[in-house]
Amino acid sequence: MGDSGTFWLPEQASTIASQVDGLFYFVTWVSAILFVGVVAAMLYFAYRYRRTHPSERPTPVKESKLLEISWIVVPTILVLLVFNWGFKTFIEMNVAPPDAYEIRAEAKKWSWLFTYPNGTQSDTLYVPEGQPVKMTMSSQDVIHSFFIPAFRVKHDVLPNRYSSVWFEATKTGTFDLFCTEYCGTGHSDMITQTKVVSQSEFDEWVESGGGAKDLPLPELGKRLYSQQGCQACHSIDGSSMVGPTWQNLYGKTGHEMEDGATVTADENYLREAILEPGAQIVAGYQNVMPASYSNLSERQLTALIAYMKELSTNEAPSGD
Ligand SMILES: [Cu+2]
């Protein structure tokens, strides 16, 4: 963590941050000065020109050309200045440099998934320091919004279309990343982190698949549980959410299905439950699990099941 910013704003950690802040402070201070000036003049005039005697009549006001011109010209200059400054910064924020490194961001209720050019995935955003990064973003469900306060970037993430932002991090460290569009009851869980690391550290991290290559299977499964968004519907503590809990699921016997059948939750049952959620519906639940998990890799599937095994104290089901 670097310094923690000022009273008004979080720390600046991207190339655009100082421009955004400069404009913010300019508008704030100009407004404050004008406010104080107008209120002070108002109070002074109210006192200076008060009626002191019932017979007193106001004298006609003589116009002052100089005064009138100045209150037209000065605000016009101020407004044009703000427009020019804001427009320039806006364009710079919206047009990514052609050599920007591209990272895909996928938002869903209620997690983020980042995919790097070589297929590495993570739920924490890793970016190299001093390198322009372009985020190409889309949503699986509703409108979310990508926000890294320390970088001063914020952009809506929409279903059925890509949107993008770019930034260049100026210092290493860990910075908050929020969803800033109210997207349902789990909205406040859509918080993760941006880890800015040196270019060489970043290359190594991406190359190693985000460390996933060397991860033991249950560890990888645990990571996928949040990365792939399973945690939005499945608990690991026994509580029932949109879907059944994973606690003591593996090895469960007499597991009831919607059609009255009972099954044993062995590896093959779990595998099918992930790849083809509609094939057998667990009694008491809706068939709402996304079918999109059918493109998980063999290693990912095995890892998820290994994680479920860890969450279960049931005896391993005997093979048939
Ligand atoms: Cu969201």
85, 12 in Cβ contact below 8 A? Answer: no
Q: Based on C-alpha coordinates, what's the Rg of the chain?
A: 29
For the record, the structure tokens of 316 come out as 């391993």
123 and 166, same domain (yes or no): yes
Choice between 51 and 2, residue whose per-residue pLDDT is larger: 51
Q: Average pLDDT of 258-275?
A: 93
CB atoms closer than 10 angstroms to residue 50: 8
CB 308 within 8 A of CB 243: no
Task: Give mean pLDDT, residues 271-285.
Answer: 93
Distance 182 CA to ligand 1 centre (A): 6
How far is the centre of ligand 1, averaged over its atoms, from the C-alpha of 238 (Å)? 25
Q: Is pTM beyond 0.85 here?
A: no
Is residue 316 classed exposed, middle or buried when 0-12, 13-18 and 19+ CB atoms within 10 A define those classes?
exposed
Query: How far does residue 64's CA lie from ligand 1's centre (Å)?
Result: 56
pLDDT at 49: 86
Question: Cα of 256 to ligand 1 centre, how many Å?
Answer: 34
Residue 248 is predicted with a pLDDT of 94
Q: For residue 14, report the distance from its CA to the centre of ligand 1, in Å.
A: 23
Output the CA 127–ligand 1 centroid distance in Å.
21
- Calculate how far, in angstroms, residue 177's C-alpha sits from the geometric centre of ligand 1: 11
68 belongs to a structural domain: no
> Regarding predicted confidence, which is higher, 296 or 318?
296
Greater pLDDT, 56 or 3: 56
Q: Which of 239, 238, 252 is nearest to 309 (CA)?
A: 252
Q: How confident is the model at residue 3 (pLDDT cuts 50, 70, 90)?
A: low
Q: Classify burial at 231, counting beta carbons within 10 Å of its beta carbon; exposed 0-12, middle 13-18, buried 19 or more.
A: buried
CATH number at residue 258: 1.10.760.10
Q: Is the domain of 241 the same as that of 184?
A: no
How does DSSP assign 234-288, residue by residue?
Answer: --SSS---SS---TTTTT-SSEEBTTS-EE---HHHHHHHHH-TTTSPBTT--S-
Please say whether the beta carbons of 116 and 133 come within 8 A: no
- Tens of pLDDT, residues 122-153: 889 999 999 999 999 999 999 999 999 999 99
| Confidence band of 2 (pLDDT split at 50, 70, 90) | very low
Q: Which residue has the tokens 């591209």?
A: 102
Whether residues 116 and 166 fall in one domain? yes
Average pLDDT over residues 12-30: 93
Query: Residue 1 pLDDT more than 60?
Result: no
* 271/155 same-domain check: no
Task: Note whether 124 and 237 are same-domain residues.
Answer: no
296-315: average pLDDT? 91
Query: In terms of residues, how long is the chain?
Result: 320
Domain that holds residue 245: 215-310
Examine residue 227 and state whether it is found in any structural domain, yes or no: yes
pLDDT for residue 319: 57
- 91, part of any domain: no
3-state DSSP assignment of residue 212? helix
Q: Convert the pLDDT of each residue in 216-237 to its tens digit.
A: 899 999 989 988 889 989 999 9
Kindly report, residue by residue over 25-83, the tens digit of the pLDDT. Answer: 999 999 999 999 999 999 999 998 888 888 888 788 888 999 999 999 999 999 999 99
Instruction: Please indicate, yes or no, whether residues 18 and 145 belong to a single structural domain of this protein.
Output: yes
Closest by alpha carbon to 195, among 9, 1, 11?
1
Residues 196 and 241 in one domain: no
CA 108 to centroid of ligand 1, rounded, Å: 7
CA of 250 to the centre of ligand 1 (A): 31
Secondary structure (3-state) at 136: strand
Expressed in angstroms and rounded, the spacing between residue 145 Cα and the centre of ligand 1 is 6
Residue pair 98/166 in contact (Cβ under 8 Å)? The answer is no
CA of 208 to the centre of ligand 1 (A): 29
| pLDDT, the chain, mean | 91
Residues 24 and 141 in one domain: yes
> What is the tally of structural domains in the chain?
2
110 is written with which tokens? Answer: 């209620």
**Together in a domain, 11 and 138:** yes
pLDDT for residue 256 is more than 50? yes
Q: Are residues 208 and 220 in the same domain?
A: no
Q: How far is the CA of 41 from the centre of ligand 1 (A)?
A: 47
- 166-197 per-position pLDDT tens digit: 999 999 999 999 999 999 998 998 999 999 99
Does residue 54 form part of some domain?
A: no
192 and 268, same structural domain? no
User: Residue 63 falls within a domain, yes or no?
Assistant: no
State the CATH number of the domain containing residue 116. 2.60.40.420
